[in-house]
Chains A and B, each alone.
Chain A
Amino acid sequence: MLELKGIRKSMGGQEVLRGVNLRVAPAERVVVIGRSGCGKSVMLRVIMGLLQPEAGEVFFEGKKLTGLSEEEWNPYRRKIGMLFQGAALFDSLSVFDNLAFPLREQGEKSEGVLRQKVAEALKIVSLSGTEEKMPAELSGGMKKRAALARAIICRPDIMLYDEPTTGLDPIVADSINRLILHLGKMFGMASIVVTHDMVSARMVGDRISYLHEGKIYFEGTPEQVDRCEDPLVRDFVRGHAEGIGITG
C-alpha cells in the first residue's frame, strides 16, 4: 500500500534521514520507534508531502508521490490521514467546524449531513456533545481525540500518527492506543505510528521499526523487538541510558 525507498532528507544542514526504506501493507499497523530527533516526524512529513526529500521515492497504492506539485498531491492527501503531535486543531474554529472542515472542502454543503457525520466521528472518539466547544476549552487528550476524529472523518486508507501519546497521562494514553487499534479494525485502515513510548508501540504495532541514525536499523514484531539482544535496540526498548554513555 505504502512504500518508502531510500528516503534522504536534511534539516538545518544536518542529514536526518539517510536512506529510509519502509513498506506498509493494507490494514497493517507499523510503529516507528527511535530516539528524540532521529527523524521520525520528518519521515511522516515526507510521506504526507509536507516536506520534499532530497532523494528517494514515496509510493502510495503504486503511484509515485515524490515530485508531485501541491495541487497534484491533494487527492492523495485525502486518502492519507494525519494526527499531528500537537493535535493542530484550528483554534479559531469550534470542534464542529474543525471536523466539518475536510467535508466542506470536499464539497459537502448539507448542514444535516455535516451534523450527522461530525456526530458519528465524535462518538467514535468518545467526544459526543463537544461540537460547540472551542479547542482552547479541551484538555490535551480531548484535543488529540478531536484531531483524530477530524483526520478519520473522510475515512482515509492510511493514518499517520505523530507521537499520539506524548504529553498525556497513562490513562488517556491508553485510551488513544485503544482508539488506534479500534480504528484499524473498524475501518481496515493501515497505520504508521511514530512514537518513543514503548508501551504504546507494543500495544498497537503489528510490526515495530527502529529508526537509528537516519535508517531503519531493526524491524520485527513486538515480541522480536523485546527479545532482540542488539545493545542499541535493547537499551532503547528498556529505557537504559548506559548505551549512550550516560550513567548515574
Chain B
Amino acid sequence: MLLGDTLRSMVQYRLRWDQIFEQMYFIGIRSQVVVLTTGAFTGAVFAAQVWFQFKRFGMESAIGPTVSIAMCRELGPVLCCLLLAGRVGAAMAAELSSMKITEQVDALRALGVYPTEYLIVPRFLALVISAPILTGLALVTGIGCGYFVAVKIFGVDGAYYWDNTIKFTDSKDVVIALIKSFIFAVIISAIACHKGMNCPPGTAGVGKTTTEAVVNASLTLLIVNFFLTILLNALLYSN
C-alpha cells in the first residue's frame, strides 16, 4: 500500500529535488566507503578462495571469470544492498519513527503537506537511484581487488586472467547486478519507510521499529534474491 501511495505521489506532486539530492548525498556519497570496502575485500577473499581450490586442478586462468561472474550476479548486489539495508534502512526507519512519535508527521499534515510526498518519495527515489550506482562501484572494486590478489599475490598470469574475465563475463551479468540492486532498493525503502511511519508510541518503539526494518529488509532481500536469480536467468539466458 505504501509503495502504491509512493508511486502515486511521485506522479501527483512535484518532485522535491533538493530533498532528493540531500538524501542521495547521505545514501550515495556517505555510503561509498562502506560499500567500496565491502566490494574490495569480498572480491579479494573470493579470488583467494577460488585460487586455493582451482590450483589443485590447474585451472588458475578460470579465477578471473569466476570472480567476475560471482561478483556481478550475486556477491556485488546482495552484499552491497545488505549493507544499505543496515546503514540506510536503519537510518530511514529511525528518522521517520522519531518524527512520528514527536508529532512531526502530524505537524506536516497540519501544515497542508502530504507526508508520503515530502518524506518518503525523496528517500525512495534517492535509494533506487543510488543503489545501482553503488553496486556498480562495488563490482569494479571487487573485480579489481580479485585481480590484484590473483595476479600480484598468487602469481596467476595477468593476460590470461583479463582475457578470460572479458571473454566469459557477459554484459547480461552486469545487467543482472543492476536489476537486482534496483529491486533490493525498492524493498529496503518500502520496508524501512513503512516501519518508520507506523512506529508504535514511545522511544522503545523507535528501537523496535529500526531493528525490525533492518531484519525484515535483509531477510526479504535474501529470499527475493533466490527468486530473482531463477527468473533473471530464465529471462536472460533462455536461448
Contact = CB atoms under 8 A, between A and B. Distances in A.
User: Are chains A and B native binding partners rather than an unrelated pairing?
Assistant: yes
A102 B2 CA distance: 25
B114 A70 contact: yes
Interface stretch (A78-86, A120-128, A199-207, A223-231): A78-86
Contacts of A86: 102-103
B106 interface: yes
Nearest to A162: B103
B34 interface: no
A88 B102 contact: yes
A142 B111 CA distance: 20
> Chain B, interface size: which category?
10 to 19
B231 interface: no
Contacts of B104: 88-91
A101 interface: yes
Contact of B111 (A71, A77, A85): A77
A70 to B, nearest CB: 6
B113 interface: yes
Contacts of A149: none
Interface string A63-99: 0000000110111011011101110111100000000
Contacts of A49: 109
B112 A50 contact: no
Contacts of B98: 91
Nearest to B109: A50
A105 interface: yes
A78 B110 CA distance: 8
A84 B111 contact: no
Contacts of A84: 103, 106-107, 110
A93 B156 CA distance: 55
Interface residues of A, number: 25
B102 A50 contact: no
A45 B109 CA distance: 11
A105 B117 CA distance: 12
A146 interface: no
A91 B110 contact: no
A92 to B, nearest CB: 8
A48 interface: yes
Interface string B97-127: 0110011101101111110000000000000
A74 B106 contact: no
A105 B113 contact: yes
A85 B98 CA distance: 15
A73 B99 CA distance: 22
A239 B127 CA distance: 54
A43 B102 CA distance: 18
Interface string B222-236: 000000000000000
A102 B111 contact: yes
Contacts of B113: 105
Contacts of B114: 70-71, 74
Given A77-B112, A102-B112, A105-B112, A85 B107 contact: no
A150 B99 CA distance: 17
Nearest 4 pairs between A and B by C-beta?
A: A88-B107, A88-B103, A74-B112, A84-B103
Interface of B: 98-99, 102-104, 106-107, 109-114
Given A90-B104, A101-B111, 11 more contacts: A45-B106, A48-B110, A50-B109, A70-B109, A84-B107, A85-B103, A89-B104, A89-B107, A90-B99, A102-B111, A105-B112
8 contacts: A48-B109, A50-B106, A70-B114, A73-B112, A77-B110, A78-B111, A78-B112, A88-B104
